[in-house]
Amino acid sequence: HQSKACAMTSAHLFCVLAAILSFSTFAHAANNTLARNESAPLSTVLLVSFDGFRADYLQKYRFPNLQMLYSEGVLVDHLTNVFITKTFPNHYSLVTGLYAESHGIVANVMYDPVTKKRFSSENDTDPFWWNEATPIWVSVQDSGFKAAAAMWPGTDVAIHNQTSTYFMKYDSQVTFQDRVNTLTKWLADDKAVRFASLYWHEPDQAGHMYGPDNETEMAKALKEVDDNIGLLIETLKQSGLWGKINVIVTSDHGMVQCSQDRLIRLDSCLDASNYTLVLITPVAAIIPLTGVSGVYNALKKCHPRMKAYLKADILVRLHYKDNERIQPIILVADEGWTIVQRGNLSLLGDHGYDNSLPSMHPFLAAYGPAFRKGYRLSQMNSVDLYPLMCHILAIQEKPNNGSFSNSRCLLITESCIELPGVIGIVIGALMVLTTLTCLFILLKNRVPSSSRPFARLELQEDDDDDPLID
């Protein structure tokens, strides 16, 4: 009877706690809906990219200005970017929410087999390459607002017949200060500007030149990056924009150390007359000239530190096969290995490797009226940033590979229930309450009553008494 009572008590308590949890979840969902439906001032987003900023630089070096920004805002420790982990594909993914195979910018160097056109950083202004997707600045302008850009890739291209309203053509000689001053003036002078973007080439350049393991040189480059973040904050404060607009600081990819001892020479496996090389390292794009199977089989056995894929067999998780600009054979070097046709190492640091590698991941930090204060998220996908920005800007998302549900907890209006924590608390509370209740029942049944045993004795001694129950 005691165990049955405990079981019944546990069941009742579980039902009560489950009801409380369900009600809490419903209440939070209702609050979120109300928060989204409340009228609010129009938001502005400033998206800033520091090329090649590896996520774990945040633990290895000091960033007083950046730390101040995310300590008052939010930090995502690891941003899982898209394959291939190169500059152009990832910058376009950040502003479209699409994988490279979907937005069409599949590499920094491309060849289109239908039109025979070629794309590179020196030849990137043909809208043909960009029109497979709609970046967020075009959507902002289609919504009746304006956009401004300081050298963000693609903003000077007439994508779907529109450049960014205001833009600066890429020129590496233009200082960070000049870029910030120009962009800030556009934001301050034209209140219709709702989306702004800013690109800076460091610490990518230093990472390539010295390698990320060169702590002396990387410390110099990263101090300059943090100084530039401080300059950005100060300029926004002087213009009255700091705290009024939403500033997002992120990057496109990380960086890994390379070595002369880790070379994969294609000429040792296959004569160059058998193929055309579109892209070289650490992901090589191959067009076979003498039969796909023969070229593939030779490259497949070329080196244990390099994987060869036929286009149809590329790993599904890489999202890198459904586009004509992806070539018939793709070679992928292991982390830190370099593919060359012949010759020696040219870069001490590189990127482009498998996007599951932590060394390829950037970070994300944000501050502004839309973001929570002092919140930290361990990981999200770079394609999740696009729906987040669309939500902040209150514009309609285009079809994308991201999910607002993965990034919504960064926002101050989204009262998030951390389900693992809540479930743990509920289970813990259930166990404690059940234990205490069962102990109470056991103790109650063990304590003798002063009246009941005496009454039973009287009944047993009196043979003439009728039974209590027939």
Which residues are the active-site residues?
87
Nearest-10 Cα torsion for 342, 344, 348, 352: 0
Going by C-alpha positions, the residue among 380, 383, 319 that lies closest to residue 94 is: 383
Cβ-count burial 310-324 (b if 16+ within 10 Å, e if not): ebeebeeebbbbebe
- The b-or-e profile of 333-367 (16+ CB within 10 A means b, else e) is bbbbbbbbeeeeeeebbbbbbbbeeebbbbbbbbb
Q: Residue 462 carries which DSSP code?
A: -
Q: Are 209 and 155 in contact (CB under 8 A)?
A: no
Tokens, residue 342: 């012949």
- The one-letter code for the residue type at 275 is Y
Contact 177, 230 (CB under 8 A): no
Task: Tell the residue number behind the tokens 């599904």, with chain if given.
Answer: 316
Strands 246-250 and 364-367 come out as: antiparallel
CA gap 411, 388 in Å, rounded: 9
3-state secondary structure of 216: helix
Residues paired with residue 166 on neighbouring β-strands, in sequence order: 148
